[in-house]
Chains A and B, each alone.
Chain A
Amino acid sequence: MIVEYESKQTPIHRLDPRAKFMWVVATIIISIIWTDPVYLFGLGVFTVIIGFMGDFPWPKMKGTFMFLLIVTAIITLIQGATYLPKVVWLANPERVAFYLIPRWIPVIGPAWPLRIGGLIYGICMALKVFVVLIAISVFGYVTSPSEVVQIIVRLPFVSYKSGFVVSAASKFVPVIQMQLATLRDAERSKGVDFDSGSFTEKVKKTTSMLVPLFANALSMADTMALAMESRAFGYSKNFTLIRPYQMQASDWLMVVFSVGGLVASIVCLAVFKLGAL
């Protein structure tokens, strides 16, 4: 996560994790089915409002936003140049906005026209990416990792064991990262210079620390298995989850709002073509 969970007392933090989960799922699905930039923008604004209510640290997203802005700008341009949807509400989608190679360049210009319809479609896709990213980041900020795992484990069709693997693995990532850092420092201390050399040399230098890394990982797995076994892992079919959450009125409100919004948007899209280009 770019923005790590922080324990705070905002109305969003206090919501039941299941309610928050419903919200993020609804937001993702709606962002997928809608194709109209205006609607998507509205959804984005709503997501941002939730973020503000949860006291989300926006400055931390700056780097990611800048990166995504560049990526989506490229996507938008490519779309504008190559793709032309049948836009419902736009009078003349095939109108050329501008040329990538402008008119005043002799011989080859004008070439590569960017059409209005394509540009709009590109913007719509960029918005989708942003909405989903913001929604998930906000969700990650207001929901503790342990709560996320509790939700995953409670999902239908997900066995307790697979939930355990995901949660334990994410717990071990920092441990492995520490080991990687040490291995790297140990190599540096023996005269390996990671900054010099050709690409293949760099790959070689990096991979030489992977043999001990994997070997250590395997012996760690053996100790872990022994520790799990010693704590009766897999003994009982019904693993009891701690924290049976109690849904409050505000949680129900969020659930009803999310599910209602989702259903409404699907119905409106199917029947009235609202939200579609």
Chain B
Amino acid sequence: MPLGQGALGLGVSYVLAGCYLLLMRLLGGILSSQYPEEHRIEWDTRTISRVTILAAVAGAGAMIKIPGPATTIALDAAAGYFAAAYFGWPVGATVAAIGTFLANALGGFASWFPMVPIYMCAMAFTVTIGVFVAKKTNIVFAIIVGTIVNTVTCLGPWVIMIGPALMIALLPSQIIGSAVNAAVGLTVAKALSSAQKHGKREIDEHIEPEA
């Protein structure tokens, strides 16, 4: 029985969003303790500037539209995945949340505004579980899990409020969009760090003769 788009439905959805955050903390906590070098973050100026720029990339990414089979796909969540894989989950979750906010704000809050905080929590949780799975298994599993979690967490509140009908209508585009974003974000992070490591050796060779 749907709870409606009123105070009750929205309230329960917000509680659900709180659960996303709790789960995120839990998984993040495991990551931080097991991989402190990658996932324990100090909030210094450098981290803050990274979050800022990557959130801007997420906001701008929302405007990239790839014409897809069901609907056009925006690359708004890719920056969050990228940030989580490259700089650790706390950075990724923050980028995902702020990026989601910016993407919605720049799109004129065309989706219902009271949902935005829920989406923010959902995306933060999604990228965290994405890197968690990537770390524990591999990227393919991470993309699959990320896609499922993204779809469920973003559409879940709508099911609570107005029932499953809308969810079924939105499902295909949501799944494709989530999958593309997860794949893009995680592979770009991998590509970039491998290019960097690959070139690292080269750069020493490159500069040394000059000295």
Contact = CB atoms under 8 A, between A and B. Distances in A.
Q: Is A–B contact present in the complex under a CB 8 A cutoff? A: yes
Interface of A: 1-3, 28, 32-35, 64, 67-68, 74-75, 78-79, 81-83, 85, 121, 124-125, 128-129, 132-133, 136-137, 140, 161, 164-166, 168-173, 175-177, 180, 199, 202-203, 206-207, 210-211, 213-215, 217-218, 220-222, 224-225, 228-229, 233-234
Interface stretch (B17-25, B99-107, B134-142): B99-107
B56 A206 contact: no
B113 A28 contact: yes
A75 B105 CA distance: 23
Contacts of A207: 184, 187-188
Contacts of A81: 165
Contacts of A213: 57
Contact of B59 (A85, A169, A210, A229): A169
Nearest to A167: B52
Contact of B108 (A83, A137, A164, A180): A137
Interface stretch (B32-40, B64-72, B121-129, B145-153): B64-72
A75 B170 CA distance: 11
Contact of A220 (B46, B53, B109): B53
Contact of B45 (A3, A175, A228): A228
A210 B60 contact: no
A228 B192 CA distance: 25
A161 B44 CA distance: 10
Nearest to A145: B105
The secondary-structure label for the interface of chain B is: helix
Nearest to A206: B66
B66 A83 contact: no
A61 to B, nearest CB: 9
Contact of B60 (A1, A75, A173, A229): A173
Q: Counting chain A CB atoms within 10 Å of each CB, which of B6, B44, B46 scores highest?
A: B6
Interface residues of B, number: 59
A178 B188 CA distance: 20
14 contacts: A64-B110, A125-B162, A133-B108, A165-B51, A165-B94, A169-B98, A173-B56, A175-B56, A203-B66, A206-B66, A210-B188, A217-B57, A221-B46, A221-B52
Given A169-B52, A173-B60, 8 more contacts: A1-B106, A2-B107, A172-B52, A203-B180, A217-B53, A221-B50, A225-B48, A225-B49
A115 to B, nearest CB: 14
Interface of B: 2, 4-7, 10, 43-46, 48-57, 59-60, 63-64, 66-69, 73, 75, 78-79, 82, 94, 98, 101-102, 105-110, 112-114, 162-163, 165-166, 169, 180, 184, 187-189, 191-192, 195
A180 B184 contact: no
B191 A211 contact: yes
A173 B101 CA distance: 13
B68 A199 contact: yes
A85 B56 CA distance: 42
Contacts of B56: 169-173, 175-176, 217
Nearest 10 A-B pairs (CB), nearest first? A2-B108, A172-B56, A176-B60, A225-B49, A169-B55, A78-B165, A224-B49, A221-B53, A173-B59, A225-B46
Contacts of A136: 108-109, 113
A119 B39 CA distance: 50
Contacts of A180: 60, 63-64
A33 B112 contact: no
Q: Counting chain A CB atoms within 10 Å of each CB, which of B69, B94, B110 scores highest?
A: B110
Given A1-B105, A132-B113, A35 B4 contact: yes
Contacts of A177: 60, 63
A213 B78 CA distance: 12
Contacts of A78: 162-163, 165-166, 169
Contacts of A215: 192
Nearest to A227: B49
A40 B4 CA distance: 15
B147 to A, nearest CB: 14
